[in-house]
Structure formats: structure tokens, C-alpha cells
Amino acid sequence: MLFEEYKYFDYQFPEPQYLGAKHTHLAWIKSFIPNNVKTAIDAFAGSQSVAFLFKQLGYKTITNDFLNFNHQIGTALIENKDTKLTDGDLKLLFQQAKNKKDFELMETLFTNVFFEKEEANFLDNFRANIPLLENPIKQAIAFTVINRSMTRKITMGHFGHTQALVYASDPERIKRNRSLVRPIKEIFEEILPKYNNAVFDNKQDNKSFNKNILELLPTTEKIDLAYFDPPYCDSHADYQGFYHLLETYTEYWKDKEFVNGIKRYEPQRVSGFDKKRDVLNSFEKLFELSEEIPTWLISYNNRSYPGIEEFEKLISKYKEVKVEAKTYHNGRGGKGSVAGSQEILFVCKPKKKYFASTNQQQELVNERF
């Protein structure tokens, strides 16, 4: 390509289907990134679209999410330099699992909730075979693509409702979305090339982590840019509730209780950023741990807690901050992105330092004493 900055932009990020994903805001976010960045961290990475942008820009990219299914996307697309799934890998994944009797969680929990028995059985068999792949990168691609295949098959792309099979028998809905009645295996085979084709080496040692960001930050150093996209407390649907099945499938829980009609795992993972009682203290810790990082970009929503003015005041203790906003003209799911609400970006830079002359310093000393 013409400019060095754009040499990795031939690689396309596979479009996600997750609530809150920032892939539609990438050009806007990019416009506020300073020119001198070499290392960037995406601290609440979710779908990994912003981390992928950092990788395209040639940065050493550190990506993190406290949910494992999101971490697998980071391993597959950000940390991964050149590994792809082959036809031989697919034969391994689709073969009859020798230890299938140890993998019946999907059939037991989700038959007649989200899937018919045959599909749930396929998912269990596939999951049993993932550990047979030769390295963690290939396993991450398998997790990433099968999880994306499940969101393609379910109406609205999430698991916070119990109408999946009802919708899948509605001719009008099927007309709009044929994936409702397609086998998951077929969907997987269709979208896998998009993920294989998104793999590239930006000549950096990028890393994907599966940690609480407050535990990860003390182990990092020399970061130029931090992107924070925390849960929008009180303005978005419960992310774990909507995507519980993907985490259950990835972790293959043996020690959880599964509750209510959607069979969500309990207890949920604790981030510290999604409950009113915790969020202010968590932000204080986050900003203290990030104080040496020169630039922060913080995605937020004007309906979140704390409110915009209070949050700006909190950030101002650490950085110079400017508030940018985009208005949603069409709803995108969740009350934080209904038409009329605003996507907010806090652009945070180092505070200006003022140096007093020797005479001014002496005057201050004289005034004090």
C-alpha cells in the first residue's frame, strides 16, 4: 500500500456480533490516537476489534479480557502470527470423539433451550476434539470460530433469551436469516476462511491475556497507549448473561450451578466494573495503575454510571481530558445504545507541567516561612 502505516490494512477483521463491539467506531477511535505510539494495550478487549486495529497499525499489542472466550479471540487474531486451521485439522475436529462420554455438557444443559439434540451433540463432540489440536493457537482459532458460529445460529446473536427454537421455526424469521436452520458445522466451514485470512504477522510480539485488568497492569511496562472499554455500568445488558453459553462452552464448567431458563452459570465472574457498589473504587485503582501510561482512550456511554461529569472529574485527577461524543441514530441492542443515546470517548493526555523560576521558588519559600 502507499503508506507504511496502512500496510497491514489488507487484513480484514471478521465482523463480530457482540453487543458493545467497537468495530463500527474504529475510524473514529483511530482519529484520536497520537502519532508516537509503539506499544498499546486493549484492557477490556471483548470482540478484539480495537486490539486488531492496534495490530494493523504496527503496534506491539497487549490485549486482555477477563472472559476466556474473548481471550481465545485475542490469541487467535492478535497473538497469532501465522498459524491457521487446515483441512487436516478439520478432519480431527469433526471426527467421532473417542472420549465423547466425558463431553455431554451442551446436550445435557442446552438441548431444547438453544439447540436441538443433534446440534448439541455435535458441539460436545467438537469440544472433546479441540485438545487434540497440536498447539494452543490452533485451539484458540477453533474456539473462536465455533463460538462465532453459535452466535450466527441464534436469533439476535446472544443467549439471554429462551426463544431460539421458537424463532428457528418461524418462516418469516428464516427468510431473513437462513442461519437459524443451517447446521452449525456448515456455518463453521463457511466463516473459517475469514478468520484464517485475518491472520498476519505485524513483526511484534503481541500477547493475549485472560486476567482481571487490575492484576495485569502491574506486570506491564513501557505502554504508550491504553484503550479502556469497561462494562457500561447500569446502561448495557449483562454481558455475561448474554454470552454465558460461550464461556460455559470454552471453560466446559464442571463446578458451576446453572440457573434460570437460559442455564446461565452461577456464580458469575467478578470484574469490579459492572456493579454500582464496586465501580468507582475499581476506576480509581485502574487509573492509579495506569498513571504512567501517557495516553488513555476510554469508551463510555452517556447513560452509564457514574455520569459523564462525575466520570470526567475522576479522570481529571490523573490526566487532561477532553470529551468526544457520537449519537446513535439507530438502536444496536442494550439500553446504552438505543437511538438517541451517545457513545462517548474520553481522550486523556498527560497533564501539563509548569516550572517556576528560581526567583518564584524563593518567593514561595519566603511566603511559607
Evaluate whether residue 360 is within a structural domain. no
Letter string b/e over residues 134-172, b meaning 16 or more CB atoms within 10 A of that residue's CB: eeebbbbbbbbbbbbbbbbbbbbbbbbeeebbebbeeee
Q: How confident is the model at residue 315, as a pLDDT?
A: 98
pLDDT digits (tens, 9 = 90+) for 137-183: 999 999 999 999 999 999 889 999 999 999 999 999 999 999 999 99
| Mean pLDDT of all residues in 49-54 | 98
Q: How confident is the model at residue 1, as a pLDDT?
A: 37
Evaluate whether residue 335 is within a structural domain. yes
> To 10 degrees, the CA torsion angle through 269, 275, 281, 286?
50
State the Cα–Cα distance between residues 298 and 311, nearest whole angstrom: 11
Q: How confident is the model at residue 100, as a pLDDT?
A: 92
75 Rama class: left (phi>0) / alpha (psi -120 to 50) / beta: alpha
Evaluate whether residue 366 is within a structural domain. no
Amino acid at 74: G
State the Cα–Cα distance between residues 108 and 256, nearest whole angstrom: 14
Domain with 58 in it = 4-349
Question: CA dist 64 to 178, 215, 266, Å?
Answer: 34, 11, 23
pLDDT digits (tens, 9 = 90+) for 61-119: 999 999 999 999 999 999 999 999 999 999 999 999 999 999 999 999 999 999 999 99
Evaluate whether residue 358 is within a structural domain. no
Indicate if the pLDDT at residue 331 is higher than 50: no
351: cell is: 497533564
Indicate if the pLDDT at residue 356 is higher than 80: no
State the Cα–Cα distance between residues 69 and 1, nearest whole angstrom: 33
Evaluate whether residue 17 is within a structural domain. yes
Evaluate whether residue 367 is within a structural domain. no
Evaluate whether residue 184 is within a structural domain. yes
Indicate if the pLDDT at residue 332 is higher than 70: no
141: closest CA among 45, 7, 10, 14?
A: 14
Residue 255, C-beta contacts closer than 8 angstroms, at least 6 positions apart:
none
The more confident residue out of 260 and 330 is 260
| Mean pLDDT of all residues in 22-28 | 93
Strands 225-228 and 39-42: parallel
CATH of the domain at 39: 3.40.50.150
Evaluate whether residue 354 is within a structural domain. no
348: cell is: 486523556
| Number of folded domains that form the chain | 1
